[in-house]
Chains A and B, each alone.
Chain A
Amino acid sequence: MGAQLRVYKRRIRSVTATKKITKAMEMIAASRVVKAQRKVRASTPYATELTRAVTAVGTGSNTKHPLTTEAETPTRSAVLLLTSDRGLAGAFNSNAIKAAEQLTARLQAEGKEVDTYIVGRRGLAHYNFRERKVAESWSGFTDEPSYADAKKVAGPLIEAIETETAEGGVDEIHIVYTEFVSMMTQTAIDSRLLPLSLEEVAEEAPKGEILPLYDFEPSAEDVLDALLPRYVESRIYNALLQSAASKHAATRRAMKSATDNAGDLITTLSRLANAARQAEITQEISEIVGGSAALADATAGSDR
Chain B
Amino acid sequence: MSPACSNKPWNDAVVITGIGMVTPLGCDAVGVLDRIQAGASAIAPTRNFDARPFACPVCAEIGDFRPHDFIAEAKLIRLMSRDAQLAAAAAHLALQDAGLDSDRFYAPGEIGLYGATGLAGLPVREIVPLLKASTDAHGRFDLVKFGDAGLRAVSPILSFKILGNMPVCLVSICENIQGPSAVYTPWEGHGARAIEAGILALQEGDARCALVGACDVKTHELAFLALEQLGLFQSWSDAGTGLIPGEGAVFLVLETAATARSRGARIHAHLAGWNFQCQQGSPQASLLESVLHALGPLIVGAVIAAANSDPARDDAEAAALARMDLADPLVLSPKKHLGDLFAAAAPLQVALAALLAGQLGQPVLANCFGHGTEQAAFLLEPP
Do the two chains belong together in a single complex? no
